[in-house]
Structure 1
Amino acid sequence: MATQHDIALTDALTGIPGPLPPSGVIHVAFPHANRFTIVGNHLAQHDGLSLAAIGIGVHIQSLPAGSRVGIKALTARFAEGETTIAAALRELETHGYLHRTRTRLANGRVVTRTVFCNQPDALLRGGEAVSPVRVTVPPVRVAVPPVRVTVPPVRVAVPPMRVTVPPMRVTVPPVLTAEPAAPVPVLPPVVPAPAPVPPPAPEPTPVPEAAHPPVRVPSRIAPTQPRRPLPQPRELTPELHRTASALLADLRRHAPELVLSEGDVEELAPGAAAWLERGAHPDAIRHALTTELPQPPKYPAKIVRHRLAVLLPPPLPGPQELAPARRAPVTPFQTCEGCDRVFRSPDPGHCRDCRAQYWEAA
């Protein structure tokens, strides 16, 4: 099988016009008859997109309209994780290939509408759409010369056949004249008596149907978990509130993406105060709020609120919790004064057997 494959590849390379390049890829291209998608080189060779983004863009462009291209659907289709696929979709959205908008339907449900544009540059120029190219292949006419086949006549000599038919004698019996038959009396037709009509059956009394409970169709969307409330300190003093507000306002120095408004700082100050009240250092709070941020963060206030609620450290334990556990007192070993047996007892004396002998003797 390997030899046949190498021979076929060699024949295909021989049919390529022109000299072959000394290095690099060599294309063996056959025209597609069906199931193909035209992809522009501006996407396939984009220097600003990652390989995952280019592959997902080509995959989305090959799908029919109405296909699901969300993160969950692509994760179920490919081996990459949700983080890689989400980052690739954001890259396509940044370069204008993908557009995702939130739309509210007539029933009040909010859905995400996804639009994929195969030429973002044409969309930016004012919607100059490129008409689809139609390739007309002229019909190939093959002239087949008529073939004339001359069949010589076949002569078959059939010898004459003589058939001798013996004479047949037919005897016709004499015809007898029958006497006229007596007339048959005609009886009047018998009319059957009408069958009695049964009385109409009474109509059944309609029975009211029992009210069935409404059937609940399970939703395909996973239920969202309730958002954790913002932690609150036991006592919000002015000094604690001032330190927490300054800590939140200073986040943009360490992470330029976390720009909070005055209203956001005032709302999130109790959460940061709860961290400070539990003994967390300001540097530790700053590190927890600014490390590994999503790029680009769309809602900085929501990110800070989520991390303040989810990453809240427990209160510092007191000296009673940190004190070592007291061990139970251990009864010391004693040596019996009568038989030198070792036994446990708080006071020296005799063992159990020796005490029993003394009690019997007494």
Structure 2
Amino acid sequence: MKAVTWQGKRDVRVEQVPDPTIQHDTDAIIEVTASGLCGSDLHLYEVLGPFMTPGDILGHEPMGRVVETGSGVTNLSVGDRVVVPFQIACGSCWMCSRDLQTQCETTQNREHGMGASLFGYSSLYGAVPGGQAELLRVPHADYGPIKIESDLDDEHFVYLSDVMPTAFQALEYAQVGEGDTLLVIGLGPIGDMAARLALHRGVRVIGADLVPERLARTAARGAETYDVTKVDVAEIVREATAGRGADGVIDAVGMEAHGSPVAQAGQTAVGFLPDFLARKAMTTVSVDRLGAFHIAVDAVRRGGTISLSGVYAGTVDPIPMQTLFDKQVTLKMGQANVKRWETQVKPLAEDSSDPLGLADFATHRVPLDQAPEVYKNFQDKADNTVKVLFKP
């Protein structure tokens, strides 16, 4: 089969690789019909290379049709249309029973001190082959896959794998309701979707980014948007909220934030180290650029909440603890627990009126062969690349 493979920093290639096979009785094999390119994939492309092996298959936002099941999979049949959550969870352990699927104790990667395994996301998360491929083996298919019985096309549902539940959890964690003010920092796929969900709820949304096309795209949905390179976003938010600040802030950027030359230099330096030293450096030194997080701390009101959905990697990055304490700020964060939010987000995808604009959420729809080009464009924020769907 064809698959998008990691070969080195900023080097992805489409190769012929062996077809996946059933390895456990709770496995299924799906023929992938759509698979997203996620902002988190850029962390592998650029920063987390020390945890990758040449040939690793990328991608964690797939959907498709079941072509084979193990004997323990009784909830799916060949031909079923399914979306596959990006994390792999068993559904029955202590963590899963508490709707913390990203902490699944069955697939947890204890040797690295990390949570549940993820598709296509480095040795830190199990080195499981990903979904930017023609076929995908789905472990724990007796629990994970979300069955789709609607006649609407893939683009209404593929975002259930990651984008919609991640954005929904970010919004839930921000603890805002109708009439409240939410600041969303970073208007890539997750920030854009979080803004759409918040507007759908009647929340006032202020969005911040530095890419004109992303700002315009979110503004067209009804948000107030600002270019972080041209204005003091925190001051704008205070002016719009009687001096208080935002009730909630979503940082949808994470480690890729601009604004810290020192951390950027650190990321670059790590790239020159041998892998065994680079892995140590990545997990013990400052490699994050905290520009977005500092805006969040400045902009949130006293007693407000900051919700982190962007991925951070460093462990000794300085953060303004005095300010966070003095402002009595709540921090909530983590990978989205997809199955926890399934019943809330799936009806929005099934709604034929398309309240979130899912049908045109993707900016690019490409075959797998174009992966090297679209990865580069996404990283460089070129060609209006906001959301890419691969159509194997």
Whether these two folds match at TM > 0.5 is no
TM-score (norm 2): 0.18
> Normalised by the size of structure 1, how large is the TM-score?
0.19
Structure showing greater radius of gyration is 1
Higher relative contact order (CA 8 A, sep 6+): 2
